[in-house]
Structure formats: structure tokens, C-alpha cells
């Protein structure tokens, strides 16, 4: 019972129980971690780049980054929030119009009957009810995100003090427990944090390319579409497939079957760019999972964690792989496939 493996397992079980008991406060924890990790990485990169030319205090760079973030959020909320709200409303109206007045094509009618069947997982009323529940809580989520930004700022400003203070716990009673927490924290940052960073980079690139293509094709409500594509892009593999459904509906309403074909071509091109250029550049071998594992993890994580599971399911799975010390392809023995 004093073995390292057992004590780590016990520590992990206690941490999971604590997180589970927190309920909705888990949103605050996740938001704080994501903001802290992403802003910290950006600060380190800018500091390393700036130090090549002139020595700048990292806290000054951090203050500048958060000032720009707050100004950008305030400007977007003031300038574009009414436009975004209008465009998303129009976007939903177009999707509902297509759903209520589908083209007279047998395949479309078959799909509509399938998703209207209450015994299937595609039941539209059920799915929209789920989405409505999440949207109705958008106010509390926004407040949690704002608090997380403030917390992440103080964490980064006092990073050295926090590290020195928490290091003392390793030398008190239950020191082994805090040593295990430190071990899990390092693993979590190196796996979960980096995968989240990659997902944000890929989602942003996909949203930018998709919006550019849609602008060339003459689509309306580009801001609303860009936001939708970005958030769906945070869902690996499945996000692009999910975004295809509303995009095709809008394309048919705007320009008929020709626009739908162009949207399919656009998705194929962007998927090829992601598969052959973005993933090899951003992802390691360990994070580039087979499609079956990606979809299976997404289904399970959505079942247990809801909408958050679609975004953090893959990072959690990568964290588990890292904890199990599963080797990457480049460190496997030469006769691995024979075994």
C-alpha cells in the first residue's frame, strides 16, 4: 500500500472525486487552466522573441497581452455583439426553414424521417432542447469566463510565489500526496495543455480558411458562420462533419445544389490541408489518434461530460495515455509489428 503506483492511483481517485463534487464549478477550473496555459505560452514566446533585440520584463508583456485581450473583448461586444446576434438568429432561421421546407428529393425526405424518429439519437427536438439548455446558461458561463481571465492573470503574475508556496506542502504531513499532485500536474500540463493549444490553433486556422472560402462563394452571415465553425472546429474530426450539415442547408437555400457541391469541395480541401499540413506541423505522433479512437472517445466523453466532453475528451484521453507511459512510434522496437 506504500508503493508509488498505489499512492498515485489513490491520489488520482481523490482528485477525480473532488472535481466531480464541484459540479458547475468545473467550468471555472477548466476556463482558468485554459486561459492560464494559453496566455502563459504566448507570453513565453513573445518574451523569447523580444529578448533577441531588447530585454523586456515578462510581467510587462503579460500586462500588455491582458490589456489587449480586454480591449478586444470590449470592442467586439460593443461593435459586433448586435451583428453577431442578428446573424446567428438569421442562421438558425435559415436552418429551420430548410428543415421545414426540404427539397423534393427522396434522400432528403429519408434523412428527415430518420432524424424525426424519436427512437434514434438524431431526434431533432431532443437535440435542440439540449442546445437550448446550454444557451440559457450562457450568462453564467460568460461570468465564469470573466472570473477565469482575472484568476489566470493573477496566477501568471505571481507564478514564482505560487510555486514557492505550494512547494512547502511537499515537506509537511501527507507530503507524498502533494508529490503525486505535482507529478500529475506536470503530466497534465505536458499532455492536456498542449493538445488544447493544438486544438485552438487548428480550429482558428479552419475558421479563417472556411470564412475566406464562404466569402468567395457569396455566403451571408459570415461572422456567425465563422463563430460556429471555430467552436465546432474544437471538436476533433467530428466537428467538421457536424458543421457540414448547417453549411449544406444554407448553401442549398442560397444557391441550390451547385452551392452544396462547392461547400463539399471546400470541406474536402480544408480537411486535406488539416490532415497533410496542420496535423503534422502541430501534433505529435501520440496526439494523432486513429479516427475510430477519436470518435469513440468523443462519444464516451460527451455521454459523461456533456458539451465539454467534445472539447476536452481527446486531451483527457491523451493525458491517460501519457500517465500509462505508452511509447510513441519513434521509440517502439523494430520488431514491434511482429510481436
Is residue 29 classed as helix, strand or coil in its secondary structure?
Answer: helix
Which of these, 180, 187, 197, lies nearest to 312 by C-alpha position? Answer: 197
- Predicted confidence (pLDDT) per residue in 219-265, tens digit: 877 777 788 788 777 776 667 777 777 787 777 777 778 888 888 88
Which residue in the block uniquely carries the three cell numbers 482575472? Answer: 150
- Residue 189 resides in a domain: yes
Read off the pLDDT of each residue in 17-23 and give the average, rounded to a whole number.
83
pLDDT at 104: 65
- Considering only residues 267 and 224, tell me which one the structure prediction assigns the higher pLDDT: 267
- Residue 313 resides in a domain: yes
- Residue 338 resides in a domain: no
- Residue 21 resides in a domain: yes
Domain count, the chain: 1
Which residues span the domain enclosing 138? 4-325
- Considering only residues 316 and 2, tell me which one the structure prediction assigns the higher pLDDT: 316
- Predicted confidence (pLDDT) per residue in 67-106, tens digit: 988 888 787 777 766 766 676 677 667 666 666 666 666 6
Which cell numbers hold the place of 139?
Answer: 450568462
Instruction: Give the dihedral of Cα atoms 194, 200, 206, 211; nearest 10 deg.
Output: -160
- Residue 332 resides in a domain: no
- Residue 248 resides in a domain: yes
- Considering only residues 33 and 110, tell me which one the structure prediction assigns the higher pLDDT: 33
| Distance between first and last Cα of the chain | 33
- Residue 336 resides in a domain: no
Give the list of residues 6+ apart from residue 260 with CB closer than 8 angstroms, or none.
248, 251, 252
- Residue 310 resides in a domain: yes
Given a cut of 50, is residue 175 above it in pLDDT?
A: yes
pLDDT at 27: 81
Asked whether the whole model's pTM tops 0.85, one would answer no
Which cell numbers hold the place of 85?
Answer: 446576434
Amino acid at each position: 500500500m506504500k508503493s508509488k503506483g498505489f499512492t498515485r492511483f489513490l491520489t488520482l481517485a481523490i482528485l477525480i472525486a473532488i472535481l466531480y463534487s464541484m459540479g458547475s464549478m468545473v467550468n471555472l477550473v477548466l476556463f482558468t487552466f485554459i486561459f492560464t496555459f494559453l496566455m502563459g505560452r504566448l507570453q513565453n514566446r513573445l518574451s523569447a522573441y523580444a529578448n533577441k533585440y531588447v530585454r523586456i520584463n515578462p510581467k510587462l508583456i503579460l500586462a500588455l497581452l491582458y490589456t489587449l485581450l480586454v480591449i478586444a473583448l470590449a470592442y467586439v461586444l460593443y461593435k459586433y455583439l448586435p451583428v453577431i446576434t442578428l446573424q446567428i438568429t438569421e442562421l438558425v432561421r435559415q436552418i429551420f426553414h430548410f428543415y421545414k421546407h426540404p427539397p423534393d428529393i427522396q434522400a432528403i425526405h429519408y434523412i428527415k424521417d430518420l432524424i424525426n424518429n424519436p427512437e434514434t439519437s438524431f431526434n431533432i427536438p431532443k437535440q435542440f432542447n439540449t442546445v437550448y439548455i446550454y444557451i440559457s446558461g450562457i450568462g453564467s458561463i460568460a461570468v465564469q469566463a470573466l472570473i477565469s481571465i482575472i484568476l489566470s492573470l493573477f496566477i501568471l503574475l505571481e507564478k514564482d510565489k505560487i510555486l514557492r508556496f505550494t512547494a512547502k506542502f511537499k515537506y509537511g504531513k501527507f507530503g507524498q500526496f502533494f508529490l503525486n499532485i505535482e507529478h500529475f500536474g506536470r503530466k497534465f500540463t505536458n499532455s492536456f495543455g498542449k493538445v488544447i493549444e493544438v486544438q485552438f490553433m487548428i480550429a482558428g486556422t479552419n475558421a479563417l480558411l472556411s470564412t475566406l472560402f464562404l466569402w468567395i462563394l457569396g455566403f451571408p452571415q459570415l461572422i456567425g458562420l465563422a463563430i460556429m465553425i471555430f467552436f465546432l472546429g474544437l471538436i476533433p474530426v467530428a466537428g467538421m462533419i457536424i458543421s457540414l450539415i448547417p453549411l449544406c442547408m444554407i448553401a442549398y437555400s442560397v444557391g441550390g445544389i451547385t452551392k452544396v457541391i462547392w461547400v463539399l469541395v471546400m470541406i474536402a480541401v480544408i480537411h486535406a490541408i488539416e490532415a497533410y499540413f496542420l496535423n503534422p506541423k502541430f501534433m505529435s505522433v501520440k496526439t494523432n489518434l486513429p479516427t475510430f479512437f477519436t470518435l469513440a472517445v468523443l462519444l464516451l466523453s460527451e455521454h459523461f461530460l456533456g458539451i465539454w466532453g467534445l472539447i476536452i475528451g481527446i486531451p483527457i484521453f491523451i493525458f491517460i495515455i501519457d500517465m500509462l507511459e505508452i511509447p510513441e512510434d519513434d521509440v517502439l522496437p523494430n520488431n514491434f509489428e511482429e510481436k
